[in-house]
Amino acid sequence: MADVPGTARCVVIGAGIVGNSLVHHLARLGWRDIVQLDQGPLPNPGGSTGHASNFIFLTDHSREITDLTLDSVAQYKELGVFTESGGFEVARTEERMEELRRRMSSAKAWGIEAEMVSPEFVQEKVPFLDKDQIVGAFWQPGVGVVDSLRAGTIMREGAVAAGALTTVPNVEVVGLDVEDGRIRRVRTDKGDIEAEYVVIACGVWSPKIGDMAGVSIPLTPAVHQMISVGPCPQLAGQQGEISFPIVRDMDTYCYERQHGADMEVGSYAHRAILMAPEDIPTIEQSKLSPTELPFTEEDFDPQLEQAYELMPELLGADGAEIRYAINGLLSLTCDGAPILGESHVKGLWTASAVWVKEGPGVGRAVAEWMTQGWSEIDVAHSDIARFHEHQKRREHTRLRTTESFIKTYGIIHPNEQYESDRNQRKAPMYDSQEKLGAFFFETAGWERPHWYESNADLVEQYGEAVMPREHEWDSRWWSPIINAEHLRMREAAGVIDLTAFQVFDIEGEGALESVQQTCVAQCDVAVGKVIYTPVLDANGGFRSDLTVMRLGDTHYRVVTGGAHGPADRQWFGDHLVGEATLTERTDDVATIGLWGPKARDILASLTDADVSNEGFPMLSCREIQVATAGGAVTVLASRISYVGELGWELYVAFEDAAALWDALLATGDTHGTRPMGIGVYGTTGRIEKGYRAYGFELDAERSIVEAGMQRPKVKAADFVGRDAYLAQREASPKTVLCTLTVEDHTSASGVKRYMLGGEPILTRDGGTLTDGHGHHPYVTTAGSAPSLGKHVLLAYLPPEQAEIGTELAVSYMEELYPVVVRSVDATALFDPSNERMR
């Protein structure tokens, strides 16, 4: 048996679809001296790839997942292992039909051929389906099946043939050695390998391997049940592996996929059956394979009945027997996204929690990322750096995946909140918020008030101006109170809890150089200045946008959104220069926003500090003393706004935050001020000002120029992405971020509808638009602009449409609504000259 080599540039652990794709792409990008290990034999080492049902549906509501899937399909086609069958998602209920119309929106937005079809259309293509069970279907002709084992073999053997790869099967990894924060060596039962790079790509076993290096890879092995029924006489004599479209029976969380003369029925309807990676049997202990566990019939029985309902003649045919039934293991994560990228251990990467439909796309993205620091498809939502501490607990993964498993085929509202494992992080003023009737959303584990029921009286006061939504879907996870709070902020002021911000300090002799080379904006500014800045990758795509305060000659404070905070912290930490340290401050510093025309009066009445425009100008920060019931507290006040009003972000020590909160509310009360939720901060206030948000308008596939955020000058100092940014400034943009308003909300049924984001932008008569990247425009943010009385949409449009006044349409639930382009750069629709912020 082959021993392992003593050294390698890169060790890839795992020879499933992900590991095989990865070694192929690394070799293609010029990597040599790669060693690939697997505990099992080739070509099927016994992981999840080996028992995958291998079909690929194309449309996901996530652009990132869809792009990885489309790239994977292209690769499978090139390898000659893709068979197009077409696929239906069938609806048994009207509620599901509405969800399928949403799928149509996503299909149009991501450029996938699809249509809504009748039960008769389905039965024509799948004659053994009982059309009376369904009300309609979403049809994607491009759906198909792949041979993932064959694909992996071709890719692996290609890398071997190129002289780039040595593959060693039947070898077990027993340890990972980390020295000085870097991966040094992989220990195996057949010898040690010194390595510069190690990639954990071993699916359900990844957490166990990650633990060997102290790296949390928070996925859980979970059971997906599958049976195969046959031989079915109706399928006998069909040529090849598949000749009928695959049917996803969405309301019963089942699928039916023909495989030769057999029909496979898979289920996501049973209880979540999770496993610890350590409890997966060994190859020797397994009857079939370690990831094909004994079938538990009682879990499957209800689905069997529903499948039989849909295809009685086929599944009940004479001679058709349940010939194969497994509890197959696959990987699930707390947020449904894969786990990719470099861990906090330098050189130790992961490509885990990936399904067959994303495998080759992930292999390419991670290989590009390892090679050049960025990938063509932005995989930020899958970055391993995204996890907060509370998410690294196995218990969190267990609870969240238990909750989400049943939603695999579920109807999930874009703003839907998890119920399990909440209350992980609470702001110091949580008790007060709860008393005020806060409706909490979760961000990065923090409980954040999205609106306050105590402000319900304002809804009555403002009447129709709160833009009430009559359709249940549009108003789910929403309240007209948000818009009422917004109007009150514009009229008086609002107090907003922003404690979820991620805050970290960069200090030391190298602090200036460190932030200079990470940020686009000029950071060599006077102490006491506040800087808003994009952060780019080497390709000039957005890594983030955030604010930096210069608190001293050698002291900067970075403030960024909670959701993306850990990734930003890792990015800054990776780019420290010279003598510089990064100190996490998130759990020491609470943040309260105070904005509105009365903000200055309120703050002035609580402090002796000069808070006039001259004494405390825009984009400046300094410490002030603020009076509270318990005495004066020290507050770092920063004159900045994300909602387009005069005001401050007030940073305060955790122990003083509740007192400051109470003082602001008590004083504000006399000015008509109210506590306000993130609904105002994150959506209504922001969208009226056209402010962009990372993860919505800004991502690694967008440039500063396309986002309309370029400044007249570029600083002389070098920074990551500078060359790319300079080039972007010279070229004409291929797409332009625009602000649009909806002109008529009335649907065919007469009910007014309000878009929520993600919808395609089309021509007035429903024609497709395509930008210079080949992408189709879609709504990146949608929200009420109560001060304008309009529903506002942000979307990247092709340059030809990016003209004020262009009349287009937005498609929502398969109906067209007229929209008009109102802004083609960062100019705000509300208070465009920013008078109110002075």
Partner 1 sequence: MASVGVLVCVKRVPDITEEVALTEDGQSVDGRRAGFTMSAHEECAVELAVQVAGGSDGEATVLTIGDADAVEQLRNALAVGCTAATHVVGEPFAFGPADVAREIAAVVRDHESAGRSHDLVLLGNDAADSGDFQVGIRLAYELGRPVVNGASTVAVEDTPEGPVVVAVGEGPEGQETYRMPLPAVVTIREGGVEPRYPSVPGRLKAKKIPIEERQPTAEPAGASRVRMTLPPPTPSAVQILGEGPEAAPAVVDVLEKLGVLTPGKVAP
Please say if 555 is a catalytic residue: no
Q: Given 3-state DSSP classes, what are the helix, strand and coil percentages for the chain, each rounded to the nearest 5?
A: 30, 30, 40
Looking at the Cβ atoms of 13 and 293, the one nearer to partner 1 is 293
Cβ(673)–Cβ(493) below 8 Å:
yes
Task: Give min distance, CB of 190 to partner 1, in A.
Answer: 16
Looking at the Cβ atoms of 295 and 532, the one nearer to partner 1 is 295
How far is the C-alpha of 77 from the C-alpha of 66, rounded, in Å?
16
The dihedral through the CA atoms of 477, 443, 570, 657 has a sign that is positive
Task: Give min distance, CB of 230 to partner 1, in A.
Answer: 10
Contacts of 661 (CB under 8 A, 6+ apart): 428, 429, 432, 495, 497, 592
Task: Give min distance, CB of 322 to partner 1, in A.
Answer: 5
Q: Where are the alpha helices (DSSP H) in 148-284?
A: 148-161, 206-211
Task: Give min distance, CB of 296 to partner 1, in A.
Answer: 8
Task: Give min distance, CB of 85 to partner 1, in A.
Answer: 22
- HEC string of 667-702? HHHCCCCEEECHHHHHHHHHHHCCCCCECCCECCCC
Q: Please report the DSSP string for 539-592 in residue order.
A: TS-EEEEEEEEEEETTEEEEEE-TTTHHHHHHHHHHT--SS-EEEE-TTTEEEE
Give me the catalytic one of 24, 25, 51, 224.
224
90 closest CA partner among 60, 126, 55, 66 = 126
Looking at the Cβ atoms of 152 and 290, the one nearer to partner 1 is 290
Looking at the Cβ atoms of 286 and 607, the one nearer to partner 1 is 286
Strands 502-507 and 581-584: antiparallel
The dihedral through the CA atoms of 658, 633, 569, 643 has a sign that is positive
Looking at the Cβ atoms of 230 and 360, the one nearer to partner 1 is 230
How far is the C-alpha of 778 from the C-alpha of 402, rounded, in Å?
32
Task: Give min distance, CB of 300 to partner 1, in A.
Answer: 9
Looking at the Cβ atoms of 310 and 650, the one nearer to partner 1 is 310
- State both tokens at 194: 């010194």
Give me the catalytic one of 421, 497, 545, 699.
545
Looking at the Cβ atoms of 306 and 443, the one nearer to partner 1 is 306
Looking at the Cβ atoms of 34 and 254, the one nearer to partner 1 is 254
Contacts of 108 (CB under 8 A, 6+ apart): 114, 760, 762, 768, 776, 811
Give me the catalytic one of 76, 253, 255, 778.
255
Contacts of 614 (CB under 8 A, 6+ apart): none
Task: Give min distance, CB of 257 to partner 1, in A.
Answer: 15
Task: Give min distance, CB of 40 to partner 1, in A.
Answer: 14
How far is the C-alpha of 475 from the C-alpha of 467, rounded, in Å?
11
669 closest CA partner among 493, 496, 837 = 493
Looking at the Cβ atoms of 78 and 297, the one nearer to partner 1 is 297
Task: Give min distance, CB of 428 to partner 1, in A.
Answer: 47
Q: What phi and psi, each to the nearest 5 degrees, are found at residue 603?
A: -65, -40
User: Within 10 A of 789 (CB to CB), how many other CB atoms are there?
Assistant: 11
Q: Where are the alpha helices (DSSP H) in 202-326?
A: 206-211, 297-310, 312-315
Cβ(627)–Cβ(653) below 8 Å:
no
Please say if 817 is a catalytic residue: no
Cβ neighbourhood burial of 769 (10 Å; 0-12, 13-18, 19+): middle
- State both tokens at 82: 């893709």
Please say if 471 is a catalytic residue: no
Q: Which residues of this chain interact with partner 1, rule CB under 8 A? A: 229, 281-282, 284-287, 293-295, 297-298, 301, 304-305, 307-308, 315-316, 320-323
329 closest CA partner among 183, 191, 442, 221 = 221
Question: Catalytic residue positions?
Answer: 224, 255, 545
